[in-house]
Amino acid sequence: MDLRDRRFLMLQGPHGPFFAELAAALRRAGAKAWRAGVNAGDEAEWRGPGYHAVADAAEAAALADRLGATDLLLYGEARPFHAGMLAAARARGLGTHILEEGYLRPAWITYERRGSNGNSPAAAWPLAEMRAGPEPALACPSAAWGALRHHAWHGAAYHLALAAGARRYPGHRPHRAEPLRREALRALGAAAFLPAAMAWRQAAQARAIRQAPYDVLLMQLEHDSALGAAGDLADHAALLGRVMAGFAAAAPPGLRLVAKMHPLETRRLHLARLVRQSAAAAGIGDRVAALPGGRLAPLLDHARAVLTVTSTAGQQALWRGLPLFAFGRTVYSHPELLPERDLEAFLAAPRPPLPGAHARLSAFLLRSSQLSGSYYTAAGRARAIAALLPRLAAEADSYDLEAAHSGPFSRDALIPAPASGQLAASNRRAYWPDGRHAPG
């Protein structure tokens, strides 16, 4: 591993000290590392030399030129600052390195070079051409979001620092619509009241499960770039309006819908009201429940089908063999996994993924883009950085290595007997409104 001639310009990272610790590891390996930040939260998280305040992608590109940067490293490609700088870096021939939450989280993080989520090579790679490696069958991805308390506290600290230092960045325009001080107070409140919120979630989830069967709508944070990437779904109101109208028109009578909020949602009361209002407007107010987070696995154990935008939690449904509908484009948007693209047709008669398809995708992702570790705990960061450094140093992209070892595959290879440890679609606990087990 040789990083001695590399010069990394890092943009915004995950909440917490991950980027600062990664920069220190890069320097120990002989590379240079700088941080281009756009607000006081970015500045507060950077521990060490090399911090540069910039206003936008144009200033970051000029900074890269002055520093002689060879590589750009960032977390999340969709926010405008990052998207603009990625385009500038590629025009200059810089190496680009994109980090994201793990597609199979919480035990992994995602590292790619060409694009993430719907822009990942894995999204366009035909599933039947994904090499079947020697890996054992993937155990069920954890239903926990992953280091939730750590993430909440890191997020609160970031937003408090951002709000406190706002005067030093007078031109900063966050990618979220919320005023900075309100966002900071909400983040702090979410961290402080997390134990009480978890008790509330458990009680609400128990009520929802007692009223099975139901479909589950997995909601994302409204500032999540996935909403904007899903066409006309600009916010929660648009998503809920579309889903409620489709459910009223096509779902079997008597079936219920559970709208599950993101575990880091800070506007639970507001969102619960929005769910009720959207359901009432569609005439199905008595068939819809708003769930303020909670554990995903027990909820899915009693679900008929699942809907989401592009949430990585969709992997939980696919592993169980549950029918999944995803708005927009995601890394698992393959016809073998999401056979129905029309919402009303899906809600009327959801079709499960092809047996064996998710096992093949998971094995492919583990080889190509998933690195063991976490952004939010000390032990997880140490594992992730140790796994990431060789990838940053490597000349070849992991997808190039996959292509070099790929050969022709038959679609029939996607329909094996269920591997040990993987649920068959015919054995999943999903129900039709009359109580029958859903066909496999």
Q: At 223, is the pLDDT very low, low, confident or very high (cuts 50, 70, 90)?
A: low
pLDDT above 60: residue 429: no
Q: At what angle do helices 357-368 and 398-405 cross, to 10 degrees?
A: 130
Residue 392 confidence (pLDDT): 97
Burial profile 1-24: b = 16 or more Cβ within 10 angstroms, e = fewer: eebeebbbbbbbbbbbbbbbbbbe
Q: 108-112 and 95-101: which strand pairing?
A: antiparallel
- Of the candidates 337, 307, 291, the residue with the CA atom closest to the CA atom of residue 244: 307
Secondary structure (DSSP) of 104-136: TTTSEEEEESS--GGGSHHHHS-GGGS---SPP
To the nearest 10°, report the CA torsion of 92, 95, 96, 97. -160
List the domain boundaries for the chain.
7-143+369-405
Q: What is the pLDDT of residues 51-102, one digit of tens each?
A: 999 999 999 999 999 999 999 999 999 889 999 999 999 999 999 999 999 9
Secondary structure (DSSP) of 173-221: --SSSS-HHHHHHHHHHHHHTHHHHHHHHHHHHHHHHHT--EEEEE---
Q: What is the pLDDT of residues 88-134, one digit of tens each?
A: 999 999 999 999 999 987 789 999 999 999 999 999 999 999 987 66
Mean per-residue pLDDT, 351-375: 94
List the single range of 54-68, 263-277, 363-377 with lowest mean pLDDT: 263-277
Query: Measured between alpha carbons, how far is 19 from 13 in angstroms, rounded to an integer?
Result: 6
Q: At 295, is the pLDDT very low, low, confident or very high (cuts 50, 70, 90)?
A: confident
Burial profile 92-103: b = 16 or more Cβ within 10 angstroms, e = fewer: eebbbbbbbbbb
Percent of the chain residues past pLDDT 70, beyond the cut:
79
Residue 1 confidence (pLDDT): 65
Q: What is the pLDDT of residues 142-201, one digit of tens each?
A: 444 456 678 778 877 897 888 888 888 987 766 555 555 555 555 555 555 556 666 667
Q: What is the pLDDT of residues 244-260, one digit of tens each?
A: 999 999 999 999 999 99
Residue 133 confidence (pLDDT): 62
Residue 424 confidence (pLDDT): 31
Residue 423 confidence (pLDDT): 32
- Of 228 and 308, the one with more pLDDT: 308
Residue 411 confidence (pLDDT): 42
pLDDT above 90: residue 136: no
- Of 353 and 437, the one with more pLDDT: 353
pLDDT above 80: residue 280: yes
Non-local (6+) Cβ contacts of 407 within 8 A are 131
pLDDT above 50: residue 434: no
Q: What is the pLDDT of residues 2-31, one digit of tens each?
A: 899 999 999 999 999 999 999 999 999 999
pLDDT above 50: residue 297: yes
Residue 415 confidence (pLDDT): 41
Q: Which CATH class is domain 7-143+369-405?
A: alpha beta
Up-side HSE of residue 47: CA atoms within 13 Å toward CB?
A: 10
| Assigned token pair, 109 | 């993080």
